[in-house]
Structure formats: structure tokens, C-alpha cells
Amino acid sequence: YGDEGVPAKPAEVEQLPEDLVAQDSLGSVMAVLGDVKFEARKDFVTVFCNVLKKEKGGRNITVDYIVSHSALLDLLVDGLD
């Protein structure tokens, strides 16, 4: 869902992994994950799992990004602890 509870458009959902990688937003969210409430962390995990599954051109850009930025795994584990 986007602003004001309006469902996101399919094109916006498809673009999300690219935007997260291009803007380095994934790392920013993971860095503060441990500071947010439990319910918000559960929402993040749902979005994160869906972003991990998205492929474009036979590649999974989110997984490629995480592999090339190994510190993100540490942030994720710390945030979910």
C-alpha cells in the first residue's frame, strides 16, 4: 500500500527492487531496524522477502546487491535479533 492506504500499482511494485538498490534504501532501513517496533519489523520482513523474489532480465538485483554489500547481512541479523 502506498500513501493514504491506496494499493500500490503493479508497475510500482515491480520497480521497488531497483529503487531500493539505486537509492541504497535497503541499507538505510536495515540500519535502524532494531530501533523500530516489532510489528514494523514484521512488515519489513514481508516486504523484504517479496523484494528478494523479484527478478528482472533473469537476474535478482536485490540478491546481487546484498551479495556485493555483505555488511547488509550483519545489519539484517542485528535488526531482527
pLDDT tens digits, one per residue of 14-57: 888 888 888 988 888 888 887 889 898 888 888 888 888 888 88
pTM score > 0.75 for this model?
no
CB atoms within 10 A of CB 75: 19
Burial class (CB within 10 angstroms; exposed 0-12, middle 13-18, buried 19+) of 64: exposed
